[in-house]
Amino acid sequence: MDVIKSLLEQQPLMALFLTIAIGYLIGEINIKGFSLGVGAVLFVALAVGWFAPKSAPAPMVGTLGLALFLYAVGVQYGKQFFLGLKSSNGRKANLMALIGVLLSGAVSLLFTRTHELSIGHALGLFAGSGTSTPTLQAAIARLSSDDPAVGYSVAYPFGVAGPILCLYIVFMVLKPKLQSNAGGRMEVREITLHDSEFAGKTVGELAATLPASVRIVALRRAHHNEPVSPEAVLAEDDVLLMVGPNKEMLDQAGLAVGEPDPGRFAKDRRDLDYIRVFASRATVVGHALGDINLPTTRASIVAHVRRGDADLLPGPDLVLESGDRVGLLAHRDDFKPVRQFFGDSIKATAEFSYISIGLGMAIGFLLGAVVIPLPGMGRVSLGLSGVLIAALVLGNYRRTGPLNWTIPLSANIVLRNLGLTLFLAQVGMASGPKFAATVSQTGLTMLGLGAIVLLTLVLPILILGLFVFKMPYDEVAGIVAGACGNPAILAYANKLAPTDAPDIGYAMIFPGMTIIKILVVNVVPALFGG
């Protein structure tokens, strides 16, 4: 054992990545739908740090990892965050989350009086119950102590398992009726205008009577298929090709327009065929569909755009991002120029501008260095929350002149998961000895306190959302996931409620509550004279 200990301490980077590998292996263990996921890296790191105290890499490794995580999250969710602040439902959701976060913080601080916890342990319980790694980093930096990491690691399991258990219990009690979004994939319908009241009217007039998420993309007339324009005049026996988000909505729209067609569109591909390409060239990325002139010799049309795991209904204002998969209806002779025009490179799903990420991160670190005087409490700096704030603003703008601030979803996920993993491994290895000493002294006390803090975060949101504001279950589940912050909670919410609402709620809540948590751990020590 001494040989292994010596090897780990002499090779801290080897120890770091070995810790990550073992952590992810343990995190994949699934017990009745529950797994620790990336959180297992923290616990393995604590064990490695306890076994080989000098194996922890430099703190700069953890700081860099967390900065990458915060920047990637902010850039991805910036637009949804600001949209949430503008809408009444978004403001209501943020208020609910804010109440839960502040209550959990107040209860954590109460334990410094009732159970004589140190301020570091209390802030660690607060961060761990909310599974907020950025909050942990802010607490460590504010106190210049590893005490928060101890409280965080004790409360973290409850921060993951507690919300999942609460969502499951509420789901089983209420049994809400939810409609699946079918994985975000567009559906297609062919409708024939037999003796229809819309004969003689334009496509635009017909489209105005349909749901906003249903679109007419092509027309079959006299045995030929062709794209449609809003000015095209409809006639009896025309066949319309319609796209929409789900079968039910298309069935309803189709019945109001005409009769289902046996599928002549799909069988006859002489005039129009389907092609899907990756948007990877600078000439299309960052540009709205309405500003793009397709290089086709015959009429063609964009039928849908797939971004990540969701299909987007194309419109003139939809701005293409690197890695988007664009589905078009075009003549086969035009397939080659279409591929060349869009670039059609799969590499675009994993590439981003190092110029924009470099500038964005630099702006964030500069903003975090600004010192804010608080009367009676001293001075507080934003720290790494400055990176998150900068990323949210840039993610909302998405593009400034030639600079594209967005990161393709696949690259974004890799970047933020790598960053989070590096931070958890580094901070766990550095905190291992103190964690073992604290748990041996306090026994199960801190475990119970962590569970209480978690409940004060989750229960107010569930009560306010479901019983006071009468919000749908899937929306409340997304708000809970965003307030708690752990992606595992969001994944479970999506499993219970397979709609878009949990993802939207998470996007609206997570960035703002992360900033609030960071501010809490910066302000509280000043109030306590720390």
- The string of DSSP codes covering 136-149 is HHHHHHHHTSSHHH
Q: In this model, does residue 183 exceed pLDDT 50? A: no
Dump strand ranges (E) for 85-193: 187-192
CATH at 256: 3.30.70.1450
Q: Are residues 424 and 342 both part of a single domain? A: no
Q: What DSSP string describes 391-436?
A: HHHHHHH-EETTEE----HHHHHHHHHHHHHHHHHHHHHHHHHHHH
Q: Are residues 163 and 214 both part of a single domain? A: no
For the record, the structure tokens of 180 come out as 């699946």
% of the chain with per-residue pLDDT over 70: 92
In DSSP terms, 278 is beta-bridged to 325
Using alpha carbons, select from 301, 217, 214, 223 the residue that is nearest to residue 264. 223
Q: Are 282 and 351 in contact (CB under 8 A)?
A: no
d(Cα 315, Cα 129) in Å, to the nearest integer?
42
Q: Are residues 422 and 513 both part of a single domain? A: yes
Q: Are residues 381 and 437 both part of a single domain? A: yes
- Residue 500 pLDDT: 67
Summarize pLDDT for 5-23 with one digit per residue, the tens: 888 888 999 999 999 999 9
Q: For the residues 463-476, what does the mean pLDDT come to? A: 92
Q: Are residues 136 and 193 both part of a single domain? A: no
- What are residue 325's phi and psi, to 5 degrees? -100, 115
Summarize pLDDT for 20-52 with one digit per residue, the tens: 999 989 888 877 666 667 778 878 888 898 899
Q: Are residues 374 and 523 both part of a single domain? A: yes
Count of domains in the chain? 3
- Residue 528 pLDDT: 64
d(Cα 374, Cα 379) in Å, to the nearest integer?
6
Summarize pLDDT for 317-363 with one digit per residue, the tens: 888 888 889 999 999 999 999 999 999 888 777 777 889 999 999 99
Domain boundary among 297, 315, 349: 349
Domain boundary among 13, 40, 56: 56
d(Cα 120, Cα 116) in Å, to the nearest integer?
11
Q: Are residues 330 and 374 both part of a single domain? A: no
Domain boundary among 332, 349, 366: 349
Question: Of the spans 151-155, 237-241, 427-431, which averages the highest pLDDT?
Answer: 237-241
Task: Give Cα separations from 223 to 64, 265, 333, 402 (angstroms).
Answer: 61, 9, 19, 45
Q: Are 530 and 119 in contact (CB under 8 A)?
A: yes
Summarize pLDDT for 294-329 with one digit per residue, the tens: 998 888 889 889 887 677 878 888 888 888 899 999
d(Cα 490, Cα 73) in Å, to the nearest integer?
14
Helix axes 473-484, 88-114, angle to 10 degrees: 50
Q: In this model, does residue 170 exceed pLDDT 60? A: yes
Helix (H, G, I), strand (E, B) or coil at 220: strand
Secondary element (H or E) of residue 358: helix 354-369
Q: For the residues 411-419, what does the mean pLDDT come to? A: 87
Q: For the residues 457-480, what does the mean pLDDT come to? A: 93
In DSSP terms, 273 is beta-bridged to 330
Q: In this model, does residue 281 exceed pLDDT 90? A: no
d(Cα 76, Cα 308) in Å, to the nearest integer?
12
- Residue 182 pLDDT: 45
In DSSP terms, 325 is beta-bridged to 278, 306
For the record, the structure tokens of 317 come out as 């204002």
Judged by phi (left if over 0) then psi (alpha if -120 to 50, else beta), residue 529 lies in: left
Task: Give Cα separations from 474 to 98, 177, 178, 504 (angstroms).
Answer: 19, 10, 8, 10
Residues 6+ apart with CB under 8 A from 88: none
d(Cα 315, Cα 302) in Å, to the nearest integer?
9
Q: Are residues 285 and 209 both part of a single domain? A: yes
Residues 6+ apart with CB under 8 A from 169: none
- Residue 258 pLDDT: 78
Q: Are residues 428 and 519 both part of a single domain? A: yes
Instruction: Say which amino acid occupies 493.
Output: A
- Residue 159 pLDDT: 81
d(Cα 140, Cα 128) in Å, to the nearest integer?
13
Q: Are residues 1 and 83 both part of a single domain? A: no
Q: Which of 183-192, 279-288, 334-343 has the least mean pLDDT? A: 183-192
% of the chain with per-residue pLDDT over 90: 20
- Residue 383 pLDDT: 74
Summarize pLDDT for 487-499 with one digit per residue, the tens: 668 767 877 887 7
For the record, the structure tokens of 76 come out as 């991805």
β pairing state of 239-244 and 259-260: unpaired
Q: Are residues 380 and 509 both part of a single domain? A: yes
On average, the pLDDT of the chain sits at: 83
- What are residue 441's phi and psi, to 5 degrees? -85, -40
Q: Are residues 76 and 165 both part of a single domain? A: yes
For the record, the structure tokens of 299 come out as 């009429």
Summarize pLDDT for 66-83 with one digit per residue, the tens: 889 889 888 888 887 888
Domain extent at residue 521: 57-178+355-527
- Residue 328 pLDDT: 92
d(Cα 291, Cα 274) in Å, to the nearest integer?
22
Q: Are 351 and 408 in contact (CB under 8 A)?
A: yes
Using alpha carbons, select from 143, 153, 181, 168 the residue that is nearest to residue 23. 153
Summarize pLDDT for 240-261 with one digit per residue, the tens: 888 887 777 787 777 777 778 7
Which one-letter DSSP state was computed for residue 202? B
Q: For the residues 258-286, what does the mean pLDDT come to? A: 84
- Residue 164 pLDDT: 83
